[in-house]
Amino acid sequence: MGIDLIAGGRNKKTARTAPKSDNVYLKLLVKLYRFLVRRTDSNFNQVVLKRLFMSKTNRPPLSLSKLARFMAGKEDKIAVLVATVTDDARMFEVPKLRVCALRFTETARARIVKAGGECLTFDQLALERPTGKDCVLLRGPKNSREAVKHFGPAPGVPHSSTKPYVRAKGRKFEKARGRRKSRGYKA
Protein backbone atom coordinates (compact mmCIF):
# COMPACT_ATOMS: atom_id res chain seq x y z
CA MET A 1 0.00 0.00 0.00
CA GLY A 2 1.42 3.39 -0.96
CA ILE A 3 1.46 6.68 0.86
CA ASP A 4 -1.65 8.76 0.44
CA LEU A 5 0.06 12.03 -0.52
CA ILE A 6 -3.21 13.94 -0.83
CA ALA A 7 -4.13 13.05 2.74
CA GLY A 8 -0.83 14.49 3.91
CA GLY A 9 1.57 11.56 3.94
CA ARG A 10 5.25 12.61 3.90
CA ASN A 11 4.31 16.16 4.83
CA LYS A 12 6.17 16.66 8.07
CA LYS A 13 6.09 20.47 8.10
CA THR A 14 4.15 21.69 11.12
CA ALA A 15 5.14 25.36 11.13
CA ARG A 16 2.42 27.82 10.17
CA THR A 17 2.60 29.42 6.77
CA ALA A 18 -0.25 31.89 7.41
CA PRO A 19 -1.98 33.26 10.50
CA LYS A 20 -5.06 31.37 11.74
CA SER A 21 -6.69 34.64 12.72
CA ASP A 22 -9.24 36.29 10.46
CA ASN A 23 -8.09 39.76 11.51
CA VAL A 24 -7.89 41.78 8.27
CA TYR A 25 -5.24 44.15 9.67
CA LEU A 26 -3.01 41.23 10.60
CA LYS A 27 -3.47 39.80 7.12
CA LEU A 28 -2.41 43.13 5.60
CA LEU A 29 0.73 43.11 7.76
CA VAL A 30 1.48 39.58 6.59
CA LYS A 31 1.11 40.74 2.98
CA LEU A 32 3.50 43.64 3.62
CA TYR A 33 6.13 41.51 5.37
CA ARG A 34 5.90 38.75 2.75
CA PHE A 35 6.82 41.44 0.21
CA LEU A 36 9.71 42.68 2.38
CA VAL A 37 11.02 39.13 2.90
CA ARG A 38 10.99 38.63 -0.87
CA ARG A 39 12.52 41.96 -1.80
CA THR A 40 15.10 42.42 0.98
CA ASP A 41 17.65 39.87 2.14
CA SER A 42 17.08 40.88 5.76
CA ASN A 43 16.77 38.14 8.35
CA PHE A 44 14.84 40.53 10.58
CA ASN A 45 11.84 40.58 8.24
CA GLN A 46 11.77 36.78 8.07
CA VAL A 47 11.60 36.55 11.86
CA VAL A 48 8.86 39.21 12.08
CA LEU A 49 6.81 37.39 9.43
CA LYS A 50 7.20 34.07 11.23
CA ARG A 51 6.08 35.66 14.50
CA LEU A 52 3.04 37.27 12.86
CA PHE A 53 1.80 33.73 12.16
CA MET A 54 2.17 32.60 15.77
CA SER A 55 -0.61 31.72 18.18
CA LYS A 56 -1.31 33.97 21.16
CA THR A 57 0.48 31.57 23.52
CA ASN A 58 3.62 32.01 21.45
CA ARG A 59 3.28 35.80 21.50
CA PRO A 60 3.46 36.51 25.23
CA PRO A 61 3.12 40.15 26.35
CA LEU A 62 6.04 42.20 27.61
CA SER A 63 5.74 44.71 30.44
CA LEU A 64 7.06 48.26 30.29
CA SER A 65 9.58 47.56 33.05
CA LYS A 66 11.12 44.60 31.18
CA LEU A 67 11.09 46.65 27.98
CA ALA A 68 12.97 49.49 29.69
CA ARG A 69 15.49 47.03 31.13
CA PHE A 70 16.16 45.43 27.74
CA MET A 71 16.52 48.83 26.06
CA ALA A 72 18.93 50.30 28.60
CA GLY A 73 21.88 51.75 26.67
CA LYS A 74 20.08 51.35 23.32
CA GLU A 75 18.03 54.55 23.46
CA ASP A 76 18.73 55.42 19.80
CA LYS A 77 17.24 52.12 18.57
CA ILE A 78 13.65 50.98 18.08
CA ALA A 79 12.28 48.17 20.23
CA VAL A 80 10.29 45.74 18.06
CA LEU A 81 7.85 43.31 19.63
CA VAL A 82 5.39 41.06 17.77
CA ALA A 83 3.09 41.05 20.79
CA THR A 84 1.39 43.35 23.29
CA VAL A 85 3.16 45.91 25.46
CA THR A 86 1.55 46.09 28.90
CA ASP A 87 1.85 48.66 31.67
CA ASP A 88 3.71 47.99 34.93
CA ALA A 89 2.38 49.99 37.86
CA ARG A 90 5.48 49.11 39.93
CA MET A 91 7.61 51.24 37.64
CA PHE A 92 7.58 54.94 38.47
CA GLU A 93 9.69 56.52 35.74
CA VAL A 94 9.36 55.41 32.12
CA PRO A 95 12.39 56.28 29.96
CA LYS A 96 12.00 57.78 26.49
CA LEU A 97 11.47 54.79 24.17
CA ARG A 98 10.56 54.20 20.55
CA VAL A 99 8.53 51.01 20.48
CA CYS A 100 6.88 49.10 17.65
CA ALA A 101 4.35 46.45 18.70
CA LEU A 102 1.17 44.74 17.54
CA ARG A 103 -0.80 46.21 20.45
CA PHE A 104 -0.33 48.54 23.41
CA THR A 105 -2.59 48.62 26.45
CA GLU A 106 -4.11 52.08 26.95
CA THR A 107 -2.03 52.88 30.03
CA ALA A 108 1.21 51.61 28.47
CA ARG A 109 0.69 53.75 25.38
CA ALA A 110 -0.14 56.81 27.48
CA ARG A 111 2.98 56.38 29.63
CA ILE A 112 5.33 55.90 26.66
CA VAL A 113 3.94 58.99 24.91
CA LYS A 114 4.03 61.06 28.13
CA ALA A 115 7.73 60.22 28.56
CA GLY A 116 8.39 61.68 25.10
CA GLY A 117 8.59 58.29 23.43
CA GLU A 118 6.75 56.95 20.40
CA CYS A 119 4.45 53.99 19.74
CA LEU A 120 4.82 52.69 16.20
CA THR A 121 2.82 50.19 14.19
CA PHE A 122 4.45 47.63 11.90
CA ASP A 123 3.44 49.46 8.70
CA GLN A 124 5.16 52.60 10.02
CA LEU A 125 8.23 50.53 10.91
CA ALA A 126 8.30 49.01 7.40
CA LEU A 127 8.44 52.49 5.89
CA GLU A 128 11.07 53.76 8.30
CA ARG A 129 13.29 50.68 8.66
CA PRO A 130 12.52 48.25 5.81
CA THR A 131 15.52 46.06 6.67
CA GLY A 132 15.24 46.28 10.44
CA LYS A 133 18.45 48.29 10.81
CA ASP A 134 18.95 49.60 14.36
CA CYS A 135 15.96 47.65 15.64
CA VAL A 136 16.01 45.46 18.74
CA LEU A 137 13.73 42.45 18.33
CA LEU A 138 12.27 41.39 21.68
CA ARG A 139 10.03 38.64 23.06
CA GLY A 140 7.96 38.27 26.20
CA PRO A 141 8.46 35.52 28.80
CA LYS A 142 6.74 32.47 27.30
CA ASN A 143 6.90 30.32 30.43
CA SER A 144 5.27 32.85 32.75
CA ARG A 145 1.78 31.58 31.96
CA GLU A 146 -0.18 30.14 34.88
CA ALA A 147 -0.72 26.90 32.91
CA VAL A 148 3.04 26.23 32.68
CA LYS A 149 3.29 26.01 36.50
CA HIS A 150 1.19 22.84 36.34
CA PHE A 151 3.51 21.10 33.82
CA GLY A 152 6.22 18.65 34.87
CA PRO A 153 6.47 15.57 37.10
CA ALA A 154 3.29 14.90 39.06
CA PRO A 155 2.81 17.07 42.14
CA GLY A 156 3.55 14.93 45.18
CA VAL A 157 6.37 12.84 43.73
CA PRO A 158 9.80 13.51 45.28
CA HIS A 159 11.71 16.59 43.99
CA SER A 160 8.69 17.87 42.06
CA SER A 161 7.79 21.54 42.29
CA THR A 162 4.78 21.19 39.99
CA LYS A 163 1.72 23.12 41.12
CA PRO A 164 -1.29 20.88 41.81
CA TYR A 165 -4.74 21.68 40.45
CA VAL A 166 -6.67 22.46 43.64
CA ARG A 167 -9.77 24.57 44.18
CA ALA A 168 -8.39 26.23 47.31
CA LYS A 169 -5.09 26.61 49.18
CA GLY A 170 -6.55 25.69 52.59
CA ARG A 171 -5.35 23.12 55.12
CA LYS A 172 -7.75 20.46 53.84
CA PHE A 173 -6.53 20.59 50.23
CA GLU A 174 -3.47 18.45 49.40
CA LYS A 175 -1.73 19.46 52.61
CA ALA A 176 -1.72 16.17 54.56
CA ARG A 177 0.23 12.93 53.94
CA GLY A 178 3.43 13.57 52.03
CA ARG A 179 3.23 17.32 52.56
CA ARG A 180 3.86 17.56 56.33
CA LYS A 181 6.15 15.66 58.73
CA SER A 182 3.31 15.43 61.27
CA ARG A 183 1.10 13.55 58.78
CA GLY A 184 3.03 10.39 57.96
CA TYR A 185 5.99 11.73 55.99
CA LYS A 186 7.18 14.80 54.12
CA ALA A 187 8.23 14.17 50.50
Which residue type occupies 169? Answer: K
pTM metric for this prediction? 0.86
The pLDDT tens digits for 98-131 are 999 999 999 999 999 999 999 999 999 999 999 9
Whole-number Å distance between alpha carbons of 161 and 96: 40
Confidence tier at 14 by pLDDT (50, 70, 90): confident
Summarised one tens digit per residue, pLDDT across range 38-67 is 999 999 999 999 999 999 999 999 999 999
Q: What are phi and psi of 112, to 5 degrees?
A: -65, -45
Buried/exposed 65-92: b ≥16 CB within 10 Å, e otherwise: ebbbeebeeeeeebbbbbbbbbbbeebe
Q: What is the pLDDT of residue 76?
A: 94
